[in-house]
Structure 1
Amino acid sequence: MGRPIGRAGWHPRMPAWIGDVIAAAFIVASAYLRFSGADFRPIDVFTTALVIAPALILPLRRRWPIAVLAACVALYALAAFTESLWPGMVLAIAIAMFGVANRLRRRAALFAALVTIGVIVGINVLASLSTLLDVRAFALVVTVAFAAAAGEGARSRRDYIVAITERAEHAEETKESEARRRVSEERLRIARDLHDAVAHQIAVINLHAGVAFSAIPSRPDDAQEAVRTIRSAARTVLSEISALLEVLRTHDDEGTREISPQPGIERLDELVGQFEEAGLAVTIEIEGDITKAAVGAQIVAYRVIQEGLTNAHKHGADSCAHVLIRVELDTLEIVVTNPTLPSETPPTLETSGDRRSGSALGLIGLRERVAAARGTVEAGPTLGAWQVAATLPVSTDGRR
């Protein structure tokens, strides 16, 4: 079958049997041409069979290239010693040599060419057709060598096309794999930002809605303050959702933007104030110079504290929590601890993979965020309390 026309670099290929027919016609027709000053005409069954034989065996070179080349050389020897040699035999050997070089590796093809040239020159000398210095012997050597070189060139070109095709396919597969990886990473990034920013504000709205509901009959001022907080948090949520939709609708070549500016430890007082307004008493203990930590480490530390305080407010007892920030030579440690009710079992990093509550998903995102910053995080019960503890390198590059 020919290759389809219309694609760049693709051309129709002639069927193999047409080339075999053309080669057979030249081999047989050359028997009626003058050779070495003498006329050779197939006049009996032997000479006719000698003329037809190479034309019949050449199509088999695609499957048995060495065997066909050896058969052609043997027929050449038979024709030389019976004085029935004609130019078609040299053409048959050249075609067979091309087939060997086109199908075997370079070293094997070179060895076959040298052996063929040596055998043919030896046959010519023994049959007294030429001497080593005869022009005809030189022309014969050049013909076989050229056929071998042409076959090697065809094989090299075929291997090159196969190699660049495989390389292009691999590049395409790699591109698709990279695109899938980037999409997956972006989905995780959006999920983490959605939980950190939007879910936190929703929790604030929920808490203050309860405060407003209970305060309306007896404490209208408190109820109004709670409603103002709900309104502010709702505006923040709408802004975050709008930014999220913008990210989702942005093409890859236009770049991406953060859902919101990522807060760091410098906004810790604001975060604690929000929880204290919701009724959670928070104590903070800082050991070391927090400014020594890189910006990326401070951002991740803020998220650890945010998640720890959110879980403390949802699942903790006595409405209190303690935050420890310790900066050492090359590590930043954050520990959020709160007492728990005996009946309350907050989610841990071990159970978060099976639970789909907001806290469980928050811990999943927290684990991913801390791991991206080359840190570790643990969450679970300890000495009658529950804590979230994260350790980050001070020099983290802040990868999210």
Structure 2
Amino acid sequence: MLVVAPAFAPFLEPEMLPSDVLSWSAALVPALVLPLRRRAPVAVLVALVALFAITAIGGPLLPGIGLAIAVAVFHLANDTSRKASLVVGGVVMGVMTAISVTVAVTRDLDAHVFQFIVTIAFAAAAGDATRSRREYLVAVTERADRAEQTREAEARRRVTEERLRIARDLHDAVAHQIAVISLNAGVASTAMDTDPERARAALGTIRGAARTVLAEIGDLLSMLRSDGQDAPATAPQPGLGQLDELMDQFSSTGLEVHRRIEGDLSRVRGSAGMVAYRVVQESLTNAHKYGSGHRAHVLVAVLPETLRIVVTNPVDHGAPASVPDGAATPVPGAGVGLIGIRERVSSVRGTVHAGLVPGGWRVSAELPIPKEETT
């Protein structure tokens, strides 16, 4: 419509209105050719430039042909790269200028050609700007989508880590004390008639373990119910300073613990000390629950850069011949605890190995001692 309308505009100069077959063709043909620009943009542009050349040679330059070329250039610049749009716009303007100069040799140069060239330049710039804006919006949308996906992945990762941490804390809070309760309940039931004093001592141990596990579970639930900022103060995490107390507790429940300490335990503090305590606690708990002979050996060696922990205990001959380190359940009922040990040791960049050895079951862990914790 925009291309055909100038042919009927009463306000245009008379020489710019169609008056013969050639001029009417130049006015109407572009309107028929332009709809094909989406399928063959280059061919349509070439045809319009050729029609411009014919019109420039045979008659007056009509506004419709200039507008048609501008529309074709805009479409091509909108669908191609910036380099291609600059080349196309420059070539079209150069060809039109060359045609106009050539025609001017035989007759006067039509001044409207400069208006056409400026219009085409604006059309090429507008097409390039439209394409650039569209690409910018697409890039912004893609970045926003990637950022959203990254936030969701990070949220899922944090949720998973938090679930694992809660599972480890719950296991540490419950498993050891429940094992103590179970073992002392067995002692109390068998010694009730034959050794009342021993039975009363076992019941006292049960009472203390029950209070401890209830307090630890209460602290954990209070922490989970808090919003993080108003989290209640909880008891400090145990470290190697409480190691003797831990082993004495196992000894009081009937597990003979042979301990060997090498080096200065006070050099190991912070996360390494807490992880070391949990490794010994879980290993002795499993030795008490699943081992035979009611004894275990604990080696804690503080080396210059690492902390080495080795816990061994005899097992029944009916135990599996070998269990790989990556197994989920090395022995029945003890898999979750060993998984927790591996996760805790891995969190401080340490290594741990658990499995059957000629002397029984062996848990060996090596934890790096950070430099700031050795000063």
Q: What TM-score do you get using the length of structure 2 for normalisation?
A: 0.90
Distance of 1:358 and 1:347 partners within structure 2? 16
**What is residue 388 of structure 1 aligned with on the other side?**
363
1:73 paired residue number: 49
Q: Which amino acid aligns with 2:174?
A: V
- Structure 2 residue corresponding to 1:123, chosen from 99, 124, 129: 99
Q: 1:43 to 1:98 in 2, by over 3 A?
A: same
Alignment correspondent of 1:21: none
Say yes or no: does 1:185 pair with 2:158.
no
- Alpha-carbon offset, residue 269 of structure 1: 1.4
1:378 partner SS: strand
2:8 partner amino acid: Y
User: What is the correspondence of 1:116-155 to structure 2 with a 5 Å cutoff?
Assistant: 116-128=92-104, 136-155=112-131
Matched residue, 1:283: 258
**What is residue 157 of structure 1 aligned with on the other side?**
133
Question: Compared with structure 1, are the counterparts of its residues 277 and 37 closer, same or farther at alpha carbon in structure 2 (3 Å cutoff)?
Answer: same
How many correspondences in the alignment? 370
Query: Which amino acid in structure 2 is aligned with residue 280 of structure 1?
Result: L
| Residue equivalent to 2:142 | 166
Q: Secondary structure at the match of 1:261?
A: coil
Counterparts of residues 299-378 of structure 1 (less than 5 Å): 299-345=274-320, 348=323, 350=325, 352-354=327-329, 357-378=332-353
- Farther-moved stretch of structure 1 (258-267 vs 150-159): 258-267
Tell me what 1:52 maps to: 28
Distance 1:218 1:395 in 2: 52
Contact persistence 2:168–2:340 (CA under 8 A): yes
SS for the counterpart of 1:262 is coil
The residue that corresponds to 1:232 in the other structure is: 208
- Displacement of 1:66 in angstroms is 2.2
SS at match of 2:301: strand
d(CA) in 1 for partners of 2:24, 2:15: 17
CA-CA distance at 1:341 after TM superposition: 2.7
Determine helix, strand or coil for the equivalent of 2:4: helix
Tell me what 1:5 maps to: none
1:293 to 2:268 alignment? yes
- CA deviation string 1:318-374 (max 9, x = no partner): 211111111112111100112223224498454742568431111111111111110
Q: Percentage identity across aligned positions?
A: 50
| Unaligned 5+ runs, structure 2 | none
Q: State the AA in 2 paired with 1:311.
A: N
How big is the shift at 1:123? 1.2
8 Å CA contact 1:296, 1:396 repeated in 2:
no
Cα distance change, pair 322–356 in 1 and its aligned pair in 2 (3 A) = closer
Range moving further from structure 2, 76-85 or 386-395:
76-85
Give yes or no for the alignment of 1:217 onto 2:193. Answer: yes
CA change 1:351–1:143 in 2 (3 A) is closer
User: How far is the alpha carbon of 1:130 from its aligned partner?
Assistant: 5.8
Indicate how the Cα distance of structure 1 residues 38 and 116 shifts in structure 2: closer, same or farther if over 3 A, else same: same
CA RMSD of aligned residues (A): 2.6
Q: CA, structure 1 residues 139+50, in 2 after alignment: closer, same or farther (shift >3 Å)?
A: closer
How far has the Cα of 1:42 moved from its partner?
A: 4.8
> Does the CA contact (< 8 Å) of 1:268 and 1:302 recur in 2?
yes
SS of 2:279's equivalent? Answer: helix
Give the stretch that moved more between structures: 198-207 or 122-131: 122-131
Equivalent residue for 1:41?
18
Q: Deviations over 1:160-216 (max 9, x none)?
A: 111111111111111111111111111111111111221111111111111111122
Contact 2:322 2:356 in 1 (8 A): no
| Shift in CA distance, 59/152, structure 1 to aligned 2, threshold 3 Å | same
Where structure 1 has 5 or more consecutive residues not aligned to the other structure, the ranges are 1-24
Contact 1:73 1:93 in 2 (8 A): yes
Identify if the C-alpha distance between structure 1 residues 254 and 159 changes in structure 2 by more than 3 Å, giving closer, same or farther.
Answer: farther
Code of the residue aligned with 1:382 in structure 2: it is V
| More displaced stretch, 87-96 vs 347-356 | 347-356
> How big is the shift at 1:95?
1.0
Q: Which amino acid in 2 is paired with 1:210? A: G
CA distance 1:234–1:346, shift in 2 (3 Å) = farther
Give the Cα–Cα distance (whole angstroms) in 2 for the partners of residues 56 and 240 of structure 1: 84
Partner of residue 198, structure 1: 174
Give CA-to-partner distance per residue, 1:266-294, whole Å, 9 cap, x none.
11112112101110111211112222234
Tell me the CA shift for residue 316 of structure 1.
2.3
Q: Does the 8 Å CA contact 2:73/2:124 hold for their aligned counterparts?
A: yes
